[in-house]
Amino acid sequence: MDSLNLLLEGFATCFTPGNLAFILLGVLIGQIVGALPGVGPAAGMALLLPLTFGIEPVTAVMMLAGIMYGGQYGGTLTSVLINVPGEASGVMTAVDGHQMARAGRGGAALSIAAIGSFLAGIGACLAVAFVTPLLSSFALRFNAPEYFLLGVLGLIAAASLGSSPVRALIAAVLGLMIALVGTDPVTGAPRLTFDQAALFEGIDFIPVAIGVFGIAEVLSSLERSEDVQPIRTRLRDMWLTAEEWSQSRFAILRGGIIGLFVGLMPGAGASVASMLSYLNERKFSRHPERFGHGAIDGVAAAEAANNSASHGAIIPMLALGIPGSASTAVLLAALILHGIQPGPSLMTQESALVWGLIASMFVGNILLLVINLPLAPMFAALLRVPYVYLAPGILALSLVGAYSATLDMGTVWKSLFFGVFGWLMIKFDIPRPPLVLALVLAQLVETSLRQSLLLSFGSLGIFIERPISIVLLILVATMIALPVWNAIRSRRSPSRAPAAE
Partner 1 sequence: MRLIDATPALFMIALSAAIVAGTGDLPYWADITPGARFFPVWLAGTGILLALLLLANLYSDPAGGRVEIPDARAVVRVGLTTGGMIGFIVLTPFVGMVLAGALFMAFLLLVVLRQPLMPSLLTVAIVALGVEGIFVRWLGVALPAFPFSI
Partner 2 sequence: MNISVNRRSALVAGGMLGIALCLPAMAQDMKAPTGPVEITVGSGAGGSPDVIMRTIAKIMNEEKIVENPIVVQNRTGGGHSNAYNYVLGKPGDENLLLTLASPVFTTPIVQGTPSVIDQATPIAGFVQSELILLTPKNSPYQTLADFIKAAKEQPGRIRIAGGASGGNDHLVTALLEQKAGIKLTYIPHESGGAARATFLGGNVEGHFGTVAEAMAVIESGEARGLAILSENRRAEDIAKDVPTAKEQGVDVVYTQFWGVAGPPKMDPALAAWWADKFKKASETAAWKDSLAKNMQLGNFYGLEEAGAYFKKEQDTFRELLTTVGLAKK
Give the footprint of partner 1 on this chain (CB under 8 A): 32-33, 36, 39, 44, 47-48, 164, 166-167, 169-170, 173-174, 176-177, 180, 184, 186-187, 189, 191-192, 194, 215, 218-219, 222-225, 388-389, 391-393, 395-397, 399-400, 403-404, 407, 409, 412-413, 416, 419-420, 423, 427-430, 446, 449-450, 453-454, 457-458, 497, 499-501
User: By CB under 8 A, is residue 192 in contact with partner 2?
Assistant: no
Q: Which is nearer to partner 2, 340 or 420 (CB)?
A: 340
Applying CB under 8 A, the site for partner 2 has a residue count of 59
Q: Which of residues 240-259 bind partner 2 (CB under 8 A)?
A: none
Q: How far apart (Å, rounded) are the C-alpha atoms in residues 78 and 32?
A: 10
Q: Could you tell me the CA-to-CA distances from 210 to 138, 181, 214, 420 in Å, in that order?
A: 35, 18, 5, 11
- The DSSP letter of residue 141 is T
- 8 Å CB contact between 30 and 330: no
Q: Which is nearer to partner 2, 33 or 240 (CB)?
A: 33
Q: Which is nearer to partner 2, 70 or 106 (CB)?
A: 70
Minimal distance, residue 32 CB to partner 2, in Å = 18
Interface characters, 143-172, with partner 2 (x: CB under 8 A): xx----------------------------
3-state SS, 388-441, equals HHHHHHHHHHHHHHHHHHHCCHHHHHHHHHHHHHHHHHHHCCCCCHHHHHHHHH
Q: Which is nearer to partner 2, 288 or 321 (CB)?
A: 321
Minimal distance, residue 140 CB to partner 2, in Å = 4
Q: Which of residues 87-146 bind partner 2 (CB under 8 A)?
A: 139-144
Contacts of 484 (CB under 8 A, 6+ apart): none
- 8 Å CB contact between 231 and 102: yes
Q: Could you tell me the CA-to-CA distances from 132 to 98, 159, 217 in Å, in that order?
A: 35, 34, 42
Q: Which of residues 414-443 bind partner 2 (CB under 8 A)?
A: 443
Q: Say how many CA atoms lie within 13 Å of 465 toward its Cβ.
A: 10
142 binds, options partner 2, partner 1, none, Cβ within 5 to 8 A by partner type: partner 2
Q: Which of 337, 382, 400, 426 binds partner 2 (CB under 8 A)?
A: 337
Q: Which is nearer to partner 1, 179 or 358 (CB)?
A: 179
**Sequential DSSP letters for 352-391:** HHHHHHHHHHHHHHHHHHHHHHHHHHHHHHGGGS-HHHHH
Torsion of CA 437, 73, 341, 359, to 10 degrees: -140
Minimal distance, residue 355 CB to partner 2, in Å = 19
Q: Which of 2, 286, 457, 484 binds partner 2 (CB under 8 A)?
A: 457
Q: Which of 1, 2, 17, 189 binds partner 2 (CB under 8 A)?
A: 189
CA 448, 402, 306, 391 torsion-angle sign: negative
Q: Which is nearer to partner 2, 111 or 411 (CB)?
A: 411
170 binds, options partner 1, partner 2, none, Cβ within 5 to 8 A by partner type: partner 1
380 binds, options partner 1, partner 2, none, Cβ within 5 to 8 A by partner type: none
What angle do helix axes 351-381 and 57-82 make, rounded to 10 degrees?
30
Q: How far apart (Å, rounded) are the C-alpha atoms in residues 163 and 161?
A: 7
Burial grade of 155 (CB within 10 A; 0-12, 13-18, 19 or more): buried
341 binds, options partner 2, partner 1, none, Cβ within 5 to 8 A by partner type: partner 2
Cα 5 to the chain's mean position, in Å?
33
User: By CB under 8 A, is residue 377 in contact with partner 2?
Assistant: no
Minimal distance, residue 167 CB to partner 1, in Å = 7
Beta strand residue intervals within 165-241, DSSP E:
182-183, 190-191
Q: Which of 126, 329, 375, 475 binds partner 2 (CB under 8 A)?
A: 329
For residue 101, the surrounding DSSP H or E stretch is: helix 91-102
Is residue 103 classed as helix, strand or coil in its secondary structure? coil
User: By CB under 8 A, is residue 400 in contact with partner 2?
Assistant: no
326 binds, options partner 1, partner 2, none, Cβ within 5 to 8 A by partner type: partner 2
Minimal distance, residue 148 CB to partner 1, in Å = 12
For residue 138, the surrounding DSSP H or E stretch is: helix 106-140
Q: Which of 31, 111, 248, 411 binds partner 2 (CB under 8 A)?
A: 411
299 binds, options partner 1, partner 2, none, Cβ within 5 to 8 A by partner type: none
Q: Which is nearer to partner 1, 13 or 452 (CB)?
A: 452
Q: How far apart (Å, rounded) are the C-alpha atoms in residues 440 and 407?
A: 21
- 8 Å CB contact between 97 and 317: no
484 binds, options partner 1, partner 2, none, Cβ within 5 to 8 A by partner type: none
User: By CB under 8 A, is residue 309 in contact with partner 2?
Assistant: no
- 8 Å CB contact between 272 and 133: no
**Which residues contact partner 2 (rule: CB under 8 A)?**
42-43, 45-46, 49-50, 53, 139-144, 183-190, 195, 197-198, 200-201, 204, 266-267, 316, 320-323, 326, 329-333, 336-337, 339, 341-345, 406-408, 410-411, 443, 447, 451, 454-455, 457
